[in-house]
Structure 1
Amino acid sequence: MLLTARVSIVGPADEPEDYLSDSLGAIFPDDVTNSHGDPDQSLLYTSPYLPHPLEVRVADPIETKDRLLFSHYLWNASLLLAELVEAGSLEGVVLEPELGVFQDMTEGGKVSNREANAGQGRSRVSAKDFDIRGKSTLEVGAGTGLPSMLAALLGASEVTAVDYPTPVVVDTLRKNVNFNTQPKFSPSGSVAPRIHVDGHAWGELETPFALDNKRKFDRLFVCDCLWMPDQHANLQRSVAWFLKDGPESRAWVIAGFHSGRSKMADFFAKEALASVGLEVEHIWERDCEGVERPWSPDRGAEDPGVRKRWLTIGILRRIT
């Protein structure tokens, strides 16, 4: 199934008949849409495993500085992480195609499923590795907050979503989270006991929010936040600051190539991550139809239409 198939459009609130029942994947069969949303419309996220679709609104920034954040869209990286959280946290859900191909960071080569299962290279990545049940989560650069909503509905112990501290962005994020994290949307009829929305600018670690939450979270969500190379160091600092100490803590970083591979690749540089005490555990690429391939920081000239079909999935951990 196409990654965007779970997203559909609802017309303006005063025109309920303006509902488009077909998914965006069906509307744009040859040109995958990687950003979704318009201030005059809502987006419905429909999952066969949720009792009701989630209704997502996007911000309506007026100021140029707010529009340049590009947080007023739902990006495909968030759709993928939402599906991974769902597949990892619900019994009986199988992500199709299943995960399994990744780059071996030690040897620098592709490891097949058969080799991984035989104990060569690193262990195979499974959708079940994205289980958030009983864990505290923080989403930075959350935008609409979709992965955080799934975490709150599927068993996380604590869910926090933050974005740049400008009112139009944070207010929309808070409204989305408050509306969609109700028991009626949860398969179990319950939600995370602690759900919080706040503002955070990457790298600013002397604020009350940062000081109160240092080394607090089991899992960090980072979706489509790598398109500004000049902010990579600040984002790395924030991830290292908020990620809980210990060998089990992980940061899940998913990003698209729609703005160019070179703009996001350096975030995963070994030296830069090591400077804040982090390392890449696994990294690979997955397209909107579930096809996987090894990660590469440089694939030469790429057709923009093909390039934007792909996402990088990186799993970061503390250096042990």
Structure 2
Amino acid sequence: MALTARVSLIGPDTSDPEDIFGASLGVIFPDDITNSHGDNDHGLLYRSPHLPRPIQLALADVNAEEDRRLFSHYLWNASLLLAELIEAGTLGLEIPWKSELAAPLAGFDVSGLRTIELGAGTALPSIMAGLLGAKRVVVTDYPSPPVLKTLRDNVAASIKEASAPAGRFAVEEVLVEGHKWGDLDTPLAEANKYAFDRVIAADCLWMPWQHDNLRRSIAWFLADGDGARAWVVAGFHTGRDKVGAFFESAALAEVGLEVEYLWERDCDGQDQDWVVDRGYDHARRWKRWLAVGVLKRIRKPAEEGEQRP
């Protein structure tokens, strides 16, 4: 099943020729796929066969130019993929698209874990984590009032026991707060250093001038333990060079992180090796692929008798 098959628009019908053409691209061009979903006039419905009811997502109604440049008023395919990985890893699903290139699916099990999402947008991965057994779920995005209001509405409406599979709901705390990447002097940051087993960043790499700040925030919130991991998934719609720059080993090492897994997955679940430069590639093909990264803390070899945290 294609990655985008679970999501659909809800809201008023449209007769705008541009909207009709955009919705038809997958028929006109079979290689094309929608990589962002929704608009100000429509919400989204996310259906999973493993949840008792669909997840309904509102999209932020942003008018200020600064807010629009965040692009958080869309659901991006990176969030769709992370939601599926969390679901499959936590529920132990048998899936047809696993490969030797990818991280073990069991590593996406959120049962009993503490998660934080950076640049959450619609917060779909966090909502999935909250429904499937995460213990603590913190959702953050840029401190823009319309973005945070929509996040709070989505999270409050969706993370409920009635929406979770039977016996899975275990969340003890759900929090939505503003967080500007790299700003670590706020009450949220000061109270949550090394506090999360999983840090989530979905389609946050399109601003290379923010890469240093994003890496700093990931390293700050990620727990200081051997099992802690950060999940970073991004599309190529702004170019491979921007995605590749984030994963440069020297830059990650400056904040004590390293890549454990990094591969590419397309909208049909096919995997291929991560490559920074694939030469000329048509934009429609870029839209089909996502980079999937798993980061961990750099660990120096333990000296004899030394105990790791």
Normalising by the residue count of structure 2, what TM-score does the alignment of the two structures yield? 0.90
- Matching of residue 54 in structure 1 with residue 55 in structure 2: yes
Partner of 2:273: 294
1:288–1:174 distance in 2 versus 1, CA, 3 Å: same
Structure 2 unpaired stretches of 5+ = 14-21, 300-309
Shift in Å, 1:139: 0.4
Indicate the SS of the match to 2:242: helix
CA distance in structure 2 between the partners assigned to 1:223 and 1:95 by the alignment: 22
CA distance in structure 1 between the partners assigned to 2:164 and 2:296 by the alignment: 29
CA distance in structure 2 between the partners assigned to 1:150 and 1:47 by the alignment: 10
Indicate the SS of the match to 2:162: helix
Shift in Å, 1:135: 0.4
CA distance in structure 1 between the partners assigned to 2:280 and 2:223 by the alignment: 39
CA distance in structure 2 between the partners assigned to 1:146 and 1:58 by the alignment: 12
- How many residues align? The count is 287
Contact residue 112 and residue 170 of structure 2 kept, 8 A:
no
- Matching of residue 68 in structure 1 with residue 69 in structure 2: yes
Partner of 1:205: 184
1:191–1:73 distance in 2 versus 1, CA, 3 Å: farther
CA distance in structure 2 between the partners assigned to 1:45 and 1:27 by the alignment: 21
Structure 1 unpaired stretches of 5+ = 16-23, 103-124
Indicate the SS of the match to 2:83: helix
Shift in Å, 1:25: 9.3
Partner of 2:264: 285
Shift in Å, 1:41: 1.2
- Matching of residue 4 in structure 1 with residue 9 in structure 2: no
Of the three residues 102, 111, 120, the one matched with 1:142 is: 120
Q: Deviations over 1:228-284 (max 9, x none)?
A: 110000000000000000110000000000111112210000000000000000100
Matches within 5 A, 1:258-277: 258-277=237-256
Of the three residues 25, 28, 37, the one matched with 2:26 is: 28
Name the % identity.
53
Indicate the SS of the match to 1:235: helix
CA distance in structure 2 between the partners assigned to 1:296 and 1:306 by the alignment: 15
Indicate the SS of the match to 1:316: strand
Shift in Å, 1:27: 7.5
- Matching of residue 232 in structure 1 with residue 211 in structure 2: yes
- Matching of residue 184 in structure 1 with residue 162 in structure 2: yes
For 2:260, the aligned partner's letter is E
For 1:277, the aligned partner's letter is G
CA distance in structure 1 between the partners assigned to 2:24 and 2:272 by the alignment: 25
Shift in Å, 1:96: 2.5
Of the three residues 174, 190, 193, the one matched with 1:214 is: 193
1:219–1:184 distance in 2 versus 1, CA, 3 Å: same
Indicate the SS of the match to 1:28: helix
1:306–1:266 distance in 2 versus 1, CA, 3 Å: same
CA distance in structure 1 between the partners assigned to 2:185 and 2:61 by the alignment: 29
CA distance in structure 2 between the partners assigned to 1:258 and 1:214 by the alignment: 32
Partner of 2:107: 129
For 2:82, the aligned partner's letter is L
Indicate the SS of the match to 1:159: strand
CA distance in structure 2 between the partners assigned to 1:209 and 1:290 by the alignment: 36
Contact residue 95 and residue 127 of structure 1 kept, 8 A:
no
CA distance in structure 2 between the partners assigned to 1:5 and 1:179 by the alignment: 22
Shift in Å, 1:26: 8.7
Q: Deviations over 1:285-305 (max 9, x none)?
A: 000001100001111221111
CA distance in structure 2 between the partners assigned to 1:95 and 1:252 by the alignment: 20
CA distance in structure 2 between the partners assigned to 1:96 and 1:145 by the alignment: 26
CA distance in structure 2 between the partners assigned to 1:144 and 1:310 by the alignment: 21
Shift in Å, 1:97: 1.1
1:86–1:99 distance in 2 versus 1, CA, 3 Å: farther
Task: Give the ranges of 4+ consecutive aligned residues of structure 1 lying more than 6 Å apart after TM superposition.
Answer: 24-27
Contact residue 233 and residue 291 of structure 2 kept, 8 A:
yes
Q: Deviations over 1:40-75 (max 9, x none)?
A: 111110000000000001101000000000000000
For 2:26, the aligned partner's letter is F
Contact residue 25 and residue 33 of structure 2 kept, 8 A:
no
